[in-house]
Chain A
Amino acid sequence: MMSPAFHHPLWLCTLLCLLSIPEQANTEELSLKEIATGVYVHQGVHQLPNQHNRGEIANIGFIIGERCIAVIDSGGSPEQGLALKQQIGKLSQKPICYVINTHVHPDHIYGNIAFKAPGVSFVGHHKLAQAMALRAPYYQEKDNGELGFSLSPENFVPPDRPVRDPLELDLGGRSLRLTAHPTAHTDNDLSIFDTETETLWLGDLLFMGHVPVVDGSLNGWLSEIEKLRKIDAQRVVPGHGPVVAAWPLALMGEENYLKHLQTEIRAAIKAGKTIEQAMDEIGQSMRPDWQLFDDFHKRNIATAFAELEWEDE
């Protein structure tokens, strides 16, 4: 005779529930680390976006004030945005008042749709809306289906609060200083400084571990790094890398990489080398220092070469 336990409804229910979980559903809670009082970061992974990771590859998080909460980058999929929202709800009763996007890349904005609600303001660089408009058709064509979810125009939620001059956002006794940068990683980079903990949140202005990706201006990025270094911060949150890093030490790897590109490409151009030669010869010595190097390095050279060949001798 079978054990009565086998027929127990709870046991059966559990079994059925386990069996019915779709392979790709995100059943895990979004992991978070409180890196400073009220500053929470989820660490991304150093991978190309694909169906397995659903494009959820960037560092994202939020800051809690006395009155309300600011989300910084919403994630690489609508599901991740929802997971972030749910975790926030578990940690605090306060409403979300701002969703700040550091820049236009999909791994930082596809979660926006999960946060749309009355009272939520989307904040970004004054060039972000245009960047979304220009890239949306291309991203839809490229990413649709490839990340395990479908994309439509509603996945591109532009800021209703564009930032041009430095902007102070008050979360209630807690002020965030937002800076819109001239073209660096992209042409719409926005950084956030939490005055309370002196935490600098840089988005993809800072890469650690993951090779930096030039999608704006190499010279502009190096110029911004020089300015950023002067900011008196206690710690920094990179767009890709550990959830928190020492400042300004964290800049070192990225600056070395970009400076190497700049120096070597300028030398190649001066020596009359072609773009093909530059792509073949430059920077391979740095390969052990970075992940996803083979996916982005040569493209970085091409982009930077096309920029630098216009420099006057």
Chain B
Amino acid sequence: MKTPATAPGILMIVVGFLLASPTLRAEGEDETAWNTNLKQKFFSDRTIEEDQQTLEITAPYRAEDPALVPLQITSKFPQTTDHYIKNITVIIDNNPVPFSASFDFTPESGKADIATRMRFNAYTHVRAIAETNDGKLHMAKAFVKASGGCSAPIGTDLEAAKARMGKMKFKVDGEKATLGQPNPVQLLISHPNITGMQMDQISRMVQPAHYVTDVKVSFEGKPVMTAKTDIAISADPNFRFYFTPEKAGELKAEIRDNLGNQYTTTQAISP
């Protein structure tokens, strides 16, 4: 049965209009926070090029769930020992903690691509700043409309989440790895990633922050992707990236959280 196009349609437009008008939210689109404070704080006086040749960032303009916003950073050239991206730092201007994550890559990464899900607390720009091996900085940015991602209530089954905390798994595309080429891989980490901004009204206590701070992925002992992460990473941190296996071997992930818990997982890789 088709939805009638008249009254509900008009209602939707009215509702949409009301929702679209920013009331209590910061307008967010101006880049004052970045220009006057954040840029200096994270990159002091260094020059940052906003070119299209280094990296690209993809994020939804209007987030469906502010606590689970998919973010994709794509590099524009393959990693080689002569020319590679060694770090990508992600800043979300209007989040309570603008530093979201910092990812280190090597030539063995194959591609310095990274995708994850993040929390957005207000309308804001999100920036990915890449540092290439020649020491130069390049930035890509996107604007995201979202609010409340950091203070949103913890996902429903907190008990279940805590019970399986630290469990991790790798997902490798396809059954077999292709040697000598960048292979896509996904790391799933079970962790509630509590921001420390979610209040419990009964006890009137803020749920203490409990989140993943370090992620180290290596293949046969050599680093593939090393990350420092903060509260902007969504619950159950999920990372998609690449690695280039030259032979069969072991993929390993080692993580740490702010309370000092450490977890490890490995995955055998064969062609």
Which A residues lie at the B interface, using CB under 8 A?
A: 46-48, 50-52, 129-138, 141-142, 145-146, 153, 156, 158, 183, 186-187, 215-217, 272, 274-276, 279, 288-291, 298-299, 302-303, 306, 309-310
In the bound assembly, the distance between CA atoms of A196 and B157 in angstroms comes to: 35
- Nearest CB in chain B to that of A289: its residue: B1
The answer, yes or no, to whether B259 is at the interface (CB within 8 Å) is: no
Which residues of the other chain, A, contact B64 by a CB distance below 8 angstroms?
Answer: 279, 298-299, 302
Chain B interface size band reads: 35 or more
15 A-B contacts (beta carbon < 8 Å): A46-B8, A47-B15, A50-B18, A51-B18, A133-B200, A134-B153, A137-B151, A138-B148, A183-B156, A187-B157, A216-B156, A275-B70, A298-B64, A306-B238, A309-B238
Q: Are A302 and B68 closer than 8 Å at their CB atoms?
A: yes
The answer to whether the Cβ of B173 comes within 8 Å of any Cβ in the partner chain is yes
B191 interfacial contact with A, CB 8 Å: no
Whether B70 lies near A142 (C-beta < 8 A) is no
Q: Which residues of B contact A47 (CB under 8 A)?
A: 11, 15
Contacts of B18 in A (CB 8 A): 50-52
Q: Which of B236-261 contact A (CB under 8 A)?
A: 236, 238, 240
Contact of B188 among A130, A141, A310 (CB under 8 A): A310
CA distance in complex: A146, B24 (Å): 9
Smallest Cβ distance from B188 to chain A, in angstroms?
6
Any A CB within 8 A of the CB of B3: yes
**CA separation between A274 and B60, bound complex, in Å?**
14
- 12 additional contacts, CB 8 Å, given A131-B153, A183-B156, A186-B156? A133-B202, A133-B203, A134-B154, A146-B23, A158-B202, A183-B157, A272-B184, A276-B72, A289-B1, A302-B64, A303-B65, A303-B68
Q: Is B38 an interface residue (CB 8 A)?
A: no
- Is the beta-carbon distance between B3 and A288 smaller than 8 angstroms? yes
Residues 69-103 (chain B) with a chain A CB within 8 angstroms: 70, 72
Is B14 at the interface (CB under 8 A from chain A)?
yes
B148 touches A156 (CB 8 A): no
A306 touches B23 (CB 8 A): no
How far is it, in angstroms, between the C-alpha of A72 and the C-alpha of B127 when the chains are bound? 48
Instruction: State the CA gap A217–B157 with chains docked (Å).
Output: 9
Contact B157 A133 (CB under 8 A): no
What residues of chain A lie closer than 8 Å to B179, measured between beta carbons?
none
Contact residue among A50, A129, A217, A289 (Cβ-Cβ distance under 8 Å from B15): A50
- Does B152 count as interface, using CB distance less than 8 angstroms? yes
In the complex, which of the residues B19, B23, B201 contacts A134, with contact meaning CB atoms closer than 8 Å?
Answer: B201
Tell me whether B201 and A272 are in contact (CB under 8 A). Answer: no
A306 CA / B171 CA spacing, docked (Å)? 14
Query: B residues within 8 A CB of A279?
Result: 64, 70
Q: How far is the CB of B196 from chain A (nearest CB, A)?
A: 13
Is A153 a contact of B201 with CB atoms below 8 Å? yes
Residues of B within 8 Å of A303, CB to CB, are: 65, 68
